[in-house]
Amino acid sequence: MKIPPRFRPAIFGLAFGLTTSASQAQADYTTLIEALQTKNRQATILFEEADLLMQGYQDYLDDPEIEATEKPALRKALLKQKTRQTLSQSEIKQFKGAMRDLRRLQKNGSVDPTGFRNSYEGLEELAKQAHRAWEEILSIRKQLQSDLLSEYQTKLIVAEGILQDLKTQENVSKRLLDSVNSRRTGSDNGEFELALKLPYLKMATARGFGISYQREDEARHAQLILVALTAYSNYFWDHFDGSRAAGGKAPSDRDRNIFGIPDGRILMSHAISHNESNYYHLSDDTRIRFNSRVRKVWGSGSLQVKTWNQNYSNPFKQACQKLTLSAKEGGVQPNETIISLIKEIDELLKIDDDARQAITQIHSQHQLKLSEAEAFGENVWLSTAAYNAAIWASESKELLPLFNLAGVRLAKQSELCNLPDWKPDTHGIQMSVRAINQASQRYPSVVKVRREIKGYLSDSDKGNRNENIEPPVIDFEKSKEFIGEPPAEGSEKKDA
């Protein structure tokens, strides 16, 4: 039911003037219900009386002894009682409906008028503030997407640039080939000595693993050298894993082997999966140890070792012995130039791996952050809250007058029901109950949306920050050692 605008001020004034009586009437409708029950009983009596009279008149009309001249009057009386019965039946229905609604209202209770009016106070302004806050979220979301794209592109360019400038394969190949080139200009004494002796280790390793190569194939040549250096580091495992520096017990030199087994019992170790006479098939972990550096540099199509011929263990040991320093207390010492070369390659591979991981995580994190930015996160409710608050604030211009008028109307009916000439306004009672029920159902939602909007607007932290795993930190200073113009090369690059 809509209230014409010209009547709203009068209704507001009347409602606010009778707030106390309306509140009391809403607390107990027993008197009004009992009065309606009385009216219902009276209407029922009239209905039954009309029904009896109708049956009597109908019997007279059906009696053949009644003169035809008397029947029009009887028909008129029958119609009159039928009308009385219809009116009584309608009143009974209205009384029962009004009593049912009042009992339900009395059972469920009604919202407090003062609290109901207060819940709408300033709701329209809150709706506007919530709408502005939502617009700000949309603006921030758009800016965040732009910032994420810019951040993604910047990080990706840096990481890809480092990876490209590292020239890992080219630099590793050059260092390995230079290590066996005794005619390279600019080499110091240690590097020159290494270039003379390292080919023996390379050849022993190649024969033991059954590796064939052409000297013109620089990539395979470099891969073989790297496998040989890995074998050398296994032979002197206690120097490369830090055991010797930590003061651990030095293994016997005669027990040293290509697999790095401390006690020399290769067949009893996990270094091999099985053997066929002198052919030792490497276990999965041992394969990874020998092949991982080569695979990182040259990829899956590079040289991979699987089986070692133990008949070449002595030539391998002799080659390793050639590449040692003078014997000291605690056994032979590995060549420092080889140690430096292996560490240098490992550092370069570490930077290369960090750059690749960074690129992968930059891609995945960008997609994750972008999905979170597009999904609005936990503030998506604000859009609905702002919309509902605006709608309810607009509805309150009619709902509040109807609510107040309903209280006044029920209070007035409760006051008049004790008078002998009272005529119940059943339609007004039912409309009033409906208005109060509508207000009572709306009240919790209005209070909730007010609380949520106020809480959001007063909260300085408008969202939880998501903690993401950052990409690996690339050692830029160390990478500079590998990036840039390559040093001047000698006139020849052939190995010794």
DSSP sequence for 196-236: HHHHHHHHHHHHHHT----TT-HHHHHHHHHHHHHHHHHHT
Query: Would 399 be classed as within a structural domain?
Result: no
Amino acid at 185: T
Q: What's the chain's average pLDDT? A: 80
DSSP-assigned beta bridge partners for residue 395: none
The Cα–Cα gap between 206 and 231 comes to 11
Query: Would 461 be classed as within a structural domain?
Result: no
Q: Which range of residues forms the domain containing residue 232?
A: 168-351
3 state SS of 279: strand
Query: Would 262 be classed as within a structural domain?
Result: yes
Pairwise pLDDT comparison (194 vs 494), residue with the higher score:
194
| Residue 61 neighbours by CB under 8 Å, 6+ apart | 71, 74, 75, 78
- Dump pLDDT digits (tens) for 200-236: 999 999 999 999 888 789 999 999 999 999 999 999 8
The Cα–Cα gap between 119 and 437 comes to 16
- Dump pLDDT digits (tens) for 141-186: 787 778 888 888 888 888 888 888 888 889 999 999 999 988 888 8
3 has a pLDDT exceeding 50:
no
Query: Would 220 be classed as within a structural domain?
Result: yes
Mean pLDDT of the region 125-142: 82
- Dump pLDDT digits (tens) for 323-352: 887 555 556 788 888 989 999 999 999 988
Instruction: Quote the number of domains for the chain.
Output: 1
The reported pLDDT for the residue numbered 464 is 43
Pick the most confident of 59-63, 112-116, 193-197.
193-197
Query: Would 428 be classed as within a structural domain?
Result: no
The reported pLDDT for the residue numbered 465 is 39
Nearest to 177 by CA among 227, 211, 232, 226: 226
Query: Would 397 be classed as within a structural domain?
Result: no
Contact at 8 Å (CB) between 275 and 267? yes
- Dump pLDDT digits (tens) for 461-490: 444 434 444 555 555 555 555 555 444 444
- Dump pLDDT digits (tens) for 8-62: 433 333 343 333 333 333 447 888 888 888 888 988 988 888 888 888 888 878 8
The Cα–Cα gap between 291 and 315 comes to 21
What residue ranges in 277-364 does DSSP mark as E strands? 279-282, 307-309
Joined together, the tokens standing for residue 439 give 């207000």
Query: Would 243 be classed as within a structural domain?
Result: yes
| Residue 199 neighbours by CB under 8 Å, 6+ apart | 180, 495, 496
Query: Would 363 be classed as within a structural domain?
Result: no
Joined together, the tokens standing for residue 172 give 């590793």
The Cα–Cα gap between 341 and 347 comes to 10
